[in-house]
Amino acid sequence: MRVICIANRGSALSAKHFDKSGNTPSTEFDLDVGHEYVVYGMVVSKGLLSYLVIGTAMFAQWYPAELFKVTQSNLPDNWHFEYLREEEGFLVDAIWGYEELLRPDHFDALSEMESSAINVFVKRKTEIDDVS
């Protein structure tokens, strides 16, 4: 799956987004408007869809889907899906992506940029890049 960035500021997000996230209209995201990104995962949390992409800071981060337009909607064959329904301590409702991403320990470790999770991500990134 690929998306193109259509905005990189919080002012482009809907009011619903501000009520449910830590972003504000003045938030600036490390994304290049007009750049096409490969999506490495998708998550719904608090009713908001986010994409896992590599921004200009060169590490995987979750970004609001409202900042993008889908350019290629095919999902990699090796992606998995999980509907989580408020599992204890995990604020994710649903998640799509490589197998390890569906595990709360890996999800959290990647968000905290732990080296073990980054190593798994890099391996899966290569596989996803080959088909995206």
Residue 47: the pLDDT is 86
Residues 78, 6: Cα–Cα separation, whole Å: 28
Q: Residue-wise pLDDT tens for the chain (132 aa)?
A: 999 999 999 999 988 888 777 788 889 999 999 999 999 999 998 889 999 999 998 989 999 999 999 999 999 999 999 987 665 556 788 999 999 999 989 999 999 999 999 999 999 999 999 887
Residue 3: the pLDDT is 98
pTM of the prediction?
A: 0.92
Could you tell me the residue ranges of all domains in the chain? 2-131
Using alpha carbons, list the distances in angstroms from residue 95 to 26, 74, 130: 28, 16, 21
